[in-house]
Amino acid sequence: NNSSTPAMVSSRSSSVIVIKLAKRNGGLPCLCIDACTGGSSVEVHHAIPVRIMRAAEMQYHLPPRIELPEVQLELPLDRPLRPVVERLRTISPHILMEGSMAGELTLRIDGDGASIRTFYSKLVPRFEDTKATENGKVVTEHSDPAKCTLKVDSKKLFA
């Protein structure tokens, strides 16, 4: 049957990868990765030493739990943040960023002889993944909009 010939040809050139946990080098646990291609005689073998942990230790290696943000703002493409930050970082090693869900963002540096502030207004607040949402619905309270202030190392802001 000629219809099965292309399938057989493609299976001959496909790769096979086997990942297994085994003991190597005197009983040390290793993650062994064996890869070979069917079309050529290339075979790759890796034995990566690993440390096996108990299930009770797993909680110490999980990623940190991060709460939902209180403030999320979208900057329009025509108002980039990078040029402003690059100018401010030459004056001060730290930048204070103050944002509010009212659509306002302030960048502030405090130098030896001066304090400089840059204001962004009419930004679009994002309510989808913030603390202001409850079961996917925006919670409207009669209080002031949420505000947040952070101190950022200016050299790492756009690193």
pLDDT in tens, 98-130: 999 999 999 999 877 889 999 999 998 888 766
CB crowding 143-154: b at 16 or more within 10 Å, else e: eeebeeeeeeeb
> What's at 77, amino acid-wise?
L
Q: Which residues on neighbouring strands pair with residue 22, listed in sequence order?
A: 30
8 Å CB contact between 36 and 12: no
Q: Which pLDDT tens digits describe the chain residue by residue (159 residues)? A: 454 445 444 444 457 888 999 998 788 999 998 888 766 677 888 889 998 899 999 989 899 888 888 888 988 888 888 888 888 888 888 999 999 999 999 999 987 788 999 999 999 888 876 665 555 555 555 567 889 999 999 888 876
> What's at 50, amino acid-wise?
V
pLDDT for position 9: 47
Residue found by looking up tokens 């440390």 in the block: 51
* CA 113 – CA 146 distance, rounded (Å): 31
Domain spans in the chain, listed from the N-terminal domain onward: 2-60, 73-153
Whole-model pTM?
0.55
* CA 141 – CA 69 distance, rounded (Å): 17
pLDDT for position 145: 84
